[in-house]
Amino acid sequence: KIVCAVTMAAGTAAGGWRIIRTLGHKMVKLQPVHGFAAETSAALIIQTASIYGIPLSTTHVITTSIMGVGAAKRFSGVKWTVVERIIWAWVLTLPATGLIGFLLARIIAAH
């Protein structure tokens, strides 16, 4: 558990600001009130999903919540090319990480 926590903290420290900058400045220009709306929306969705035992990605929830806030301000205020890159990353990450996990498990099991 400690190794996992340290690894996640290191990843957040290394790339966290880049992600925040992408979501809060490159994809949509957020002001504090918009951040509050996005966070509140995401919290409601995550809490509701938790109550019903529905698994979901908190990253996907907050990202799409920020998109919604940006679209509410002005639909053209969302940089849809950035959104497209994010969605492609999501689509490609799932099979890629599944394949890597499969291969690593096979390698480890073989030894």
Looking at the chain, list the stretches that DSSP marks H as alpha helix, in order from N- to C-terminal side.
2-21, 32-51, 58-73, 80-110
What was the pLDDT predicted at 29? 87
Cα 40 from Cα 20, distance rounded (Å): 17
What was the pLDDT predicted at 106? 96
Contact 27, 66 (CB under 8 A): yes
What was the pLDDT predicted at 5? 85
Query: What global pTM score does this model have?
Result: 0.76
111 residues of the chain, pLDDT tens digit each: 788 888 888 887 887 777 777 777 788 888 889 989 999 999 999 999 999 999 999 889 999 999 999 999 889 989 999 999 999 999 999 999 999 999 999 999 988
